Amino acid sequence: MSFYLDASVVVPTLVLQASSLAASGFLRSAADALLLADFTEGEVASAVSRLVRMRELTQSQGVAALADFDRWRLAETTPLEIEPADIQDAIRLVRRFELMLRTPDALHLAIAARSSAALVTLDDRLATAAQAIGLPVHTP
């Protein structure tokens, strides 16, 4: 089975956080394909940019973190593009109020489901929603 990564697992591998050890350990030990959507790439860049704006990282640290991400992404992951059907599936998931999803998280679920991949996330709400729709979940 392949693993679909959301930004909550990738960012701690670039920037020291409480979950950095667990996230890095999972990614190093994963024997199956690591799938990364172009959307996730945007979320990672947004998260690093936010850390720079909040002055938790310097601009040079942010640039270095994104350069590390780009190298890792090209070497270790299989890229996935968003497809029009993913948007429609995400909308259907957002309309399931019991899932309590925002559109970005619903889009991650839609892409992971289309790819027949297990979702890897550190986001508890996203993990709960994935389980509710029958998607395998790994939370490092």
pLDDT, tens digit, for every residue of 52-91?
999 999 999 999 999 999 999 999 999 999 999 999 999 9
Ranges of the chain whose pLDDT falls below 50: none
pLDDT of residue 61: 98
pLDDT of residue 1: 85
**Would you state the torsion angle of the CA atoms of residues 123, 127, 128, 129, taken in this order, to the nearest 10 degrees?**
100
Q: Of 3.40.50.1010, 3.90.1720.10, 3.40.605.10, 1.10.3430.10, which CATH number belongs to 3-138?
A: 3.40.50.1010
Give me the phi and psi of 82, to 5 degrees please: -70, 135
Beta strand residue intervals within 19-65, DSSP E: 34-37
Please name which of 4, 16, 20 lies closest in space to residue 77, comparing C-alpha atoms.
4
pLDDT of residue 49: 98
pLDDT of residue 31: 86
